[in-house]
A and B are shown apart, each in its own frame.
Chain A
Amino acid sequence: MIEVNQLKKSFGKVEAVRSISFHAEDGRITGLLGDNGAGKTTTIRMLAGTLTPDAGTIQLDQKPLAIYDRHQRRHIGILSDAKGLYERLTTRENMAYYGQLMGLSGSALEQGIQRARKLLDLDDILDRRVQGFSTGQRMKVLLGRLLVYQPKNLILDEPSSGLDVRATRKLRVILSRLREEGHCLVFSSHIMQEVELLCDSVIVVHDGRSLGQAPVAEWNARAGVEKFEDAFVAAIEGGQYVP
């Protein structure tokens, strides 16, 4: 479970995040929806611990987030916008490296790799070097790197960007399965359809502020529209807050 309250972050004179609050529960997919530059990635980087908030609080499983708390870090998996992989390492080696850095070794590490292999269907690329992989294959490795140590909370920044239709569908299946397993998933995107299909709850982010958090149906009802896209536009144009 993740709870974010009144987060703020500036880079010099630029206020990237002015006030973002939301909560993400276990066994649910929570969507962060907003235009490019709305503040989604900065928020995720604060959750990842790579940026320190200027103000506000982040609670992970009801404890304040501490950047250097090793135990806590094992319970959070981040797929940030920095989607780099070690090109000269194989899929297995990439996953093993992250697993080891998360404290796994021996049979626990091997079990984690096998679990990720099955879930992500990695058989054909498991022992191949990453160099030359397609975007979809790279995304599988990135997800595998997280799944190998099975963090309870998963935060994914635009995971479907660059993926083709089939890979996106596959990704949706994987995320749904993780939800069923009880993981807390935070998922950022600017693609309406994806958010509509996947998310149990959606936070609309605009100009560094969260405009509210509610299921898609509730956003539509409040705006008096049928399409979620219209509800989203109404929300950001009106700057209305849905409690």
Chain B
Amino acid sequence: MFRDIGVVIRKELIDLSRDRRTLRSMAGILLGMPLVYVLLIGVILSQIKENMERTVQVGVVGCSHAASICDFLRENRVDLTPLNEVETKLIANRKFDVILSLPQDYEQALAEFRRPKIGLWYDEVEDKSSFAAKRMGLLLESWQVGLGYRRAILRGIDPSTLKPLQVEARSIKPEKGFGYSSVQLFMSTLLMACFMGTYHLAVDSVAGEKERHTLESLMQTAAPRTAFMLGKWLSIAVVGTIGMLASALIFKFLVEARPLQNLLGMASELSWSFVGKSVLICVPLILMATSLQFMIGTLSRSVKEAQTYTSLLSILGFLPASFANVLEKMPNAQWMPSLGQTLTLLRMGKDQPVNWLACLVASGATLLLAALFMLVVYRAFHNEKLFRSGT
């Protein structure tokens, strides 16, 4: 039996090494996705950095009424262009990030202890505009606080009475630049590798043999049918696990690459311990995903039919990663297959305490599911309907 399994695995691996289409598909997911994700982090963070550092373009109506504010803004990387009236289309046309409107009675209102109304127009759906509006809001708030202090001092009032509290926000995690973003995307990379990495291979393994009319003659040989089942499944699982490991290493290599870090001016580090633990946590998931896809491939009449069901079910398996933050609040979520592993990865990424017992139970349940799927495959392999369904 073990010899037969070895023969099947060897043949499957030789066949795979010559199947360019499947190799391309696997390379795209297992090697391409880490690259895409890392580039994605790079693009997003470089945009944030650019928005933080760049000079904001502001159209101002009534700058002459409040020269002191305008001077303050100019000192803080804000480029002001005088306007006669508020024309919102200038924001839509991206000529200005925001438009500021200063009232004619600004000075008089302050003198009379009234609060002059300052208008700020921006485009919420446009990142640049929305980010500029936030910066303008902070600058104006800062100006307002300074003005309040000055007025209090002039009246002999201790300025601290205006703001009796001193709030000092400090992050409990050391700043790692794009640290947590990279952890989240690393998690997505691993789950993508688990559920999508070998799906083409799994589907083709039996459904493809049915289509090519090779399965029936295979089952007429002296090797036990269980040997074919296990040989095929093991070759997919081994390739999938190696692929996931490669995916994890490529992600680590890319995210820690100097050129990217220099480009962003930020550093990120995924420790070997974190990478190793994450890969180990995902091994039961890959076995479950492989079994599920293998079962679909076995029960389907053609590769096309199997692909349809497999892609749908693989997305279901991948969903917990996308909604991990929401699902975390579900009671008992950490004990569930797939979800438990995802939440463990999430907590590890956040440096939060991990419930390893829950992770172990979730892994056990995941392996049990894998065994159930394989039991269905076993029954199918010993049923003559397996040969009746080929196209």
Contacts and interface: CB of A to CB of B under 8 A. Distances in A.
Interface residues of A, number: 32
A101 B223 contact: yes
A97 B220 contact: no
Contact of B14 (A51, A93, A101, A102): A93
List the 9 closest pairs (A to B, CB-CB), nearest first: A84-B213, A84-B214, A101-B221, A82-B216, A82-B213, A73-B222, A88-B18, A101-B223, A70-B222
Given A68-B224, A89-B15, 15 more contacts: A11-B388, A49-B220, A50-B387, A51-B384, A51-B387, A82-B214, A84-B209, A84-B212, A84-B214, A89-B18, A97-B11, A102-B221, A102-B222, A102-B223, A145-B217
A48 B220 contact: yes
A87 B216 contact: no
Given A82-B216, A86-B15, A52 B209 contact: no
B216 A89 contact: no
Contacts of A85: 212, 214
Nearest to A69: B222
A102 B25 CA distance: 33
Nearest to A52: B384
Contact of A100 (B7, B212, B390): B7
Interface string B218-240: 11111111000000000000000
28 contacts: A11-B388, A45-B216, A50-B216, A50-B220, A51-B384, A70-B224, A73-B221, A80-B216, A82-B214, A82-B215, A82-B217, A82-B387, A84-B209, A84-B215, A85-B214, A88-B14, A88-B15, A88-B19, A89-B14, A89-B18, A97-B11, A98-B217, A101-B218, A101-B222, A101-B223, A102-B222, A102-B223, A145-B217
B43 to A, nearest CB: 39
A43 to B, nearest CB: 14
Contacts of A89: 11, 14-15, 18
Nearest to B213: A84
B269 interface: no
Contacts of B18: 88-89, 129
B4 interface: yes
A70 B216 CA distance: 16
Interface residues of B, number: 28
A49 B19 CA distance: 31
Nearest to B1: A70
Given A50-B387, A101-B4, A80 B224 contact: no
A80 B384 CA distance: 15
A78 interface: yes
A103 interface: yes
A74 interface: yes
Most buried by A among B216, B218, B222: B222
A27 to B, nearest CB: 23
A83 interface: yes
Quick one: which of A50, A52, A82, A83 has the most chain B CB within 10 A?
Answer: A82
Contacts of A80: 216-217, 220
A110 to B, nearest CB: 15
A144 B224 CA distance: 22
A234 B240 CA distance: 61
A78 B220 contact: yes
Interface in A75-120: 78, 80, 82-89, 93, 97-98, 100-103, 105
B217 A78 contact: yes
Scoring A68, A84, A89 by chain B CB atoms within 10 A of each residue's CB, the highest score goes to A84
Nearest to A142: B217
Interface string B177-221: 000000000000000000000000000000001001111111111
A89 B15 CA distance: 7
A103 B3 CA distance: 9
A71 B3 CA distance: 16
B221 A86 contact: no
B215 A101 contact: no
B16 to A, nearest CB: 9
A230 to B, nearest CB: 35
B217 to A, nearest CB: 6
Contacts of A74: 222
